[in-house]
Structure 1
Amino acid sequence: MTLVEVKEILNKFVEKESEEHVSTYNNVALTAKAEGYSDIEAMLCAYAEEEKNIAETARKVLELLSVKEVLSKFAEKENAEHVAEYNKVALAAKAEGYSDIEAMLCAYAEQEEDIARTARKVAGAL
């Protein structure tokens, strides 16, 4: 299952949980209240609150998955573009005899690699 598929399923779940289930429990609770069953009303209101909490937790997971996706893409771009560009310019500087600039650019490339590695680790931890 892909990340996109998981996110779609979670989106549908959050909608159903927060709209359908919560409103169903609340509607039946109102009916129970109108008929004088306050104990059943309280129980159904508690169920509605639990459904709301479940939906909120699923929403938070969905947000984390989005962050994971963004961090993963960031790490790829960081490696593919920034590191490669610094290394390319460093080679040109070396060829032209600018070893100090080459060293500086290689250090920048290493920092970019560290940033990408860190982003991948954080994404993996989510």
Structure 2
Amino acid sequence: MFKATKQRLLAAGIVLTLVGACATPQKQCIARETSEYRAVSAQIEELEKTLARGYALHRQQVPYTETRLCHVQGRKKPIPCNRTRFHTIETPVTVDIGEVRKKLARLKAHRRKLEPAAKSAQAACIRAYPE
């Protein structure tokens, strides 16, 4: 369960970094300054889904090969070429519901502690970079 959440957060961080490159300075500032708060919120959301389902999901990226035609400079006819693609497989995993509830309670308490600083940072970003 932890690995799946960690992988998901890493992927989200990469996406946010890429999107952040196109975002306004204000949005970049807010994303940077509230990253821990948003990460904790994402973990809470995942644990709430786990409780609702009654089991966790292990997500795994599985490679597969896709064959297609490629145009090569200097050649008149396209040639077959392979490209590795990935798809996600989700496998149900049993969890200790009591432990999930305890972890959820700890994360919610931690998020409550982070919230004032996140709001303050967001307000500071808005003041520093008005749109």
Q: TM-score normalised to the size of structure 2?
A: 0.30
Bigger Cα Rg: 1
Q: TM-score normalised to the size of structure 1?
A: 0.31
- Would you tell me which structure has more strand in proportion to its own residues? 2
